[in-house]
A and B are shown apart, each in its own frame.
Chain A
């Protein structure tokens, strides 16, 4: 009798659990049935554009596509940024066609590696490669190629620009924005006001808004490893970049700079909008923040200054590309959708609504022509900067390149190693890793 109570409880628990499993599984089957009852092919599209600003834009593009189609229906799912790729990887590894999405927004710099690892579908036979190559930004197009095969279609890019506060520059006697590193150093020194140990205002500091890596690219227009596989970390230009950064730190005081930086934290408070910093590096889309939250600001924008006259105003870009995960159910239909999204019309819509750089150069140009006033000014500068903008695709032969180099660069900017020592160490590590891979 008493024993019965316990056994009864266990039986009840198992029954309840069984019921739960049965009920929920039934739910799943029903859901997939209703999706298939439509005659169209349903594509599962994953993006991380879920914010109030971006979601309506991407969903408008999707609904435009859906309306133009009688065979394909695209279903959009928001998956959090960054984690979207963890989920995609798990789905691809499961080889379960019901789990694998048809199109995913991927990190453009990871595409080569994902192609090599066979995590995404090759597209040469699915898309019009020649047409795409003709309109895409050459750096973006290169980033999605691996061994003569295309593994994704570029979608968006960005580029770093120098925003400057006209009033603060004028107060220091400058009417023209800086063109070279020497200009930045000189102007910053004149603008910066320090009271005791705190800055009242700062002219410029190279590591606000961007990292050391951007200045190494800016110095000579080369990545750590060139496209031909040459390791180009330890060059005189790169050394000069680190020395130039350290010069700022030494002159302004490391402690004081750190204290100033700590006050505006990660992305939250912005010192340029509050007119505490006169010259600031950010992506072109920063324009929308100035428009929305800093309309009092009289500012201008130029491509990143160059190391010395004629060395080139090189800048760095990230970006996203549309990929078809390996094992997706409808690669052909997915490719149709991707081509639509990379097309001029869709790219223009994205570029204009988000004030974003897009991979399709024709679309970028056309948008600039449509814009007016300040919007046009900033977008035109961004387009000019794009001509000298590099992407940094993860090299297949040294996938952990960044984690090999970054600690060394940090040692140099912290003053624990000389630029020469740090770059030498980084170069050795990368070369060793490269030889180990062969």
Chain B
């Protein structure tokens, strides 16, 4: 018993050390965001701000129309998450539970789209959206989310495969359609993985920089990630405001993670236990 407690203590200390290492950069951001510029330029750098400048946060928010950028970003992100969760879950159901000719071939073709690096398709995609007349609208950022993503489909399909076919067969015998089964049986059973998809796509859309950069031309349509760039320039970067802004933008991501943390852990449980 005693030795167990001893080893627990070692593990605890090691974990603490690990946490400190991981949290250090975050602390650096927080501390930089609260310093005046003169202190940031000081050498050697200070670990705690000497002169706490909470007004940096207000200054940051006023340096550009961030409230507008927040609304824009929320709008895009919300639609992207809805699209990704619904459409990918639907497609994955087909790949996991419906037998149709060439199913595996189609699946491989789908997966192979993951191998194409994004910057190869960048210009062709831009030309496509430009021909559709979608430039300077949110459409190029939102509509693709409604056309499936190979990674999410793969993730969901793997999860669905673990749900016993008997459930579906029983429902089919009772006369349920595939839509009905998907909506009433599969979706409720796959909440953890849907939460994962939602978080991933939230992060993707929230942090997307290149998409809004390419497709939005009007500054009133900009997102938070574009807005943050006003603090950087070819010369003097306003580090305190940049860090304050980055922290504000990071906050929803952290909050979201803590809210959905439960589902994450459940998801891990399910994928190893295979219960349904």
**Which residues of A pack against B, CB within 8 Å?**
2-3, 5-7, 9-10, 13, 17, 20-21, 24-25, 27-28, 31, 44, 48-55, 77-81, 83, 86-87, 89-91, 93-94, 96, 98-99, 263-265, 267-271, 273-274, 276, 283, 285, 288-289, 292-294, 318, 320
Contact = CB atoms under 8 A, between A and B. Distances in A.
A78 B230 contact: yes
A24 B138 contact: yes
A161 to B, nearest CB: 14
Contact of A81 (B38, B178, B229): B229
Given A50-B233, A79-B213, A27 B183 contact: no
A50 B134 contact: no
A269 B44 contact: yes
A2 B177 contact: yes
B256 interface: no
A240 to B, nearest CB: 31
Interface in B134-184: 134-139, 142-143, 146, 175-180, 182-183
B269 interface: no
Contact of A269 (B40, B122, B210): B40
Contacts of A20: 79, 139, 142-143
Interface string B109-145: 0000000000000110011001101111111001100
A320 B237 CA distance: 18
Given A24-B138, A78-B230, A52 B126 contact: no
Given A50-B229, A78-B230, A276-B43, A6 B63 contact: no
A281 B230 CA distance: 26
A90 B219 contact: no
B178 to A, nearest CB: 7
B37 A293 contact: yes
Contacts of B226: 80
A273 B236 CA distance: 14
Contacts of A2: 175-177, 179-180
B41 A25 contact: no
Contacts of B217: 44, 77, 99
A273 B130 CA distance: 49
A25 B229 contact: no
A78 B213 contact: no
A122 to B, nearest CB: 23
Given A24-B138, A93-B123, A273-B43, A3 B233 contact: no
A193 B142 CA distance: 59
B41 A289 contact: yes
B145 to A, nearest CB: 10
Contacts of A265: 45
A49 B178 CA distance: 55
B218 A31 contact: yes
Contacts, number: 158
Q: How large is the interface on B (under 10, 10 to 19, 20 to 34, 35 or more residues)?
A: 35 or more
B69 to A, nearest CB: 12
Contacts of B130: 94, 96, 99
Interface string B15-42: 0000000000000000010000110111
B136 A31 contact: yes
B143 A80 contact: no
A28 B134 CA distance: 8
A195 B136 CA distance: 59
A288 B37 CA distance: 13
Given A25-B139, A31-B136, 15 more contacts: A6-B179, A17-B146, A50-B230, A51-B233, A78-B230, A79-B213, A83-B210, A87-B213, A99-B135, A268-B239, A269-B40, A288-B236, A292-B38, A293-B37, A318-B234
A90 B122 contact: yes
B41 A21 contact: no
A35 B232 CA distance: 30
Contacts of A13: 86, 146
Contacts of A93: 123, 126-127
B253 to A, nearest CB: 20
Contacts of B219: 77-78
A27 B133 CA distance: 11
B214 A9 contact: no
Contacts of B236: 51, 53, 285, 288-289
B233 A49 contact: yes
B41 A81 contact: no
A86 B214 CA distance: 8
Contacts of A24: 134, 137-139
Nearest to B42: A274
Interface in B210-246: 210, 213-214, 217-219, 226, 229-239
6 contacts: A17-B143, A25-B134, A52-B238, A94-B123, A94-B130, A271-B43
Nearest to A273: B41
Contacts of A9: 179, 183
B41 A293 contact: yes
A25 B133 contact: yes
Contacts of A3: 177, 179-180
